[in-house]
Amino acid sequence: MTSIQAQPFPYTFDPRRTALVIIDMQRDFIEPGGFGESLGNNVALLSAIVPACRAVLDAWREVGALVVHTREAHQPDLSDCPPAKRNRGNPSLRIGDEGPMGRVLVMGEPGNQIIPELAPVAGEIVIDKPGKGAFYATPLQGFLQEREITHLVFMGVTTEVCVQTSMREANDRGYDSLLLADCTESYFPQFKASAIEMIHAQGAIVGWTADSASLLAALAAPG
Ligand code: TIU
């Protein structure tokens, strides 16, 4: 077992039973011209976490533990995109519209791909999810059960939307989850800070939070 410094108290896990879950590090959220920018957001905030995410991903791959990538992605016919989601707000580009990186949030389009720095490699799981949470309408729980995974370490975007939703879904399914605070970002810094507090408040009501340095130190320590 490995134990690392975390909030509100140390997080203990067995890497063989733990998956690194990277939420929606897609061009649509991180690069100009995608869905995130079409909602009126400054995407530069999000790209700042890429080096920290890459360092964790490299260390995790070195250990040989499971990696899961998610993408917020809809079928080309939008049959899995409720009108309530497509019509929400006043985006300059709606889901399914043709944008500078192809059709927004549609599977297979250039903007829907994970950024090259964090691209999946053979043996890693890639989950296309139509909602904010990684478990809703996806095969994720079955894949984790097959591999006897009990703990999840989260990174990705955005903290208070898809990351927090996925952690709450994981919590209700019995997983012990850790969020790496410097490997997640929001278009709204105050929402990131609040989400992190909400997650570890009340004795880890949703899960734990820690800086990636704690995890990297533990993974590098001789086992
Ligand atoms: N992946 C994810 O968080 N989807 C969003 O739409 N996030 C926003 O913050 N808009």
* Chain center to CA of 9: 22
Identify residue 116 by its one-letter amino acid code.
P
**Per-residue pLDDT reduced to its tens digit, 197-210:** 999 999 999 999 99
What is the H or E stretch that residue 59 is in? Answer: helix 50-63
Atom of ligand 1 nearest to the CA of 26: 1
Nearest CA to ligand 1 atom 2: 162
Query: What pLDDT is recorded for position 101?
Result: 95
**Per-residue pLDDT reduced to its tens digit, 37-50:** 988 899 999 999 99
**Per-residue pLDDT reduced to its tens digit, 211-220:** 999 999 999 9
Query: What pLDDT is recorded for position 88?
Result: 86
- Give catalytic residues, as residue numbers: 24, 129, 162
Q: SS3 helix, strand, coil % of the chain, rounded to 5?
A: 40, 25, 40
> What is the rounded (10 degree) CA torsion for 34, 211, 179, 75?
20
Tokens 């043996």 found at: 123
Q: Is the pTM of this model over 0.75?
A: yes
CA of 2 to the centre of ligand 1 (A): 31
Pocket probe for ligand 1: among 26, 94, 128, 132, the residue whose CB has the most ligand atoms within 8 Å is 132
- Is 205:197 a contact under the CB 8 Å cutoff? no
Distance CA 5, CA 39 (A): 36
Nearest CA to ligand 1 atom 10: 36
Is the CB of residue 158 below 6 angstroms from any atom belonging to ligand 1?
A: yes
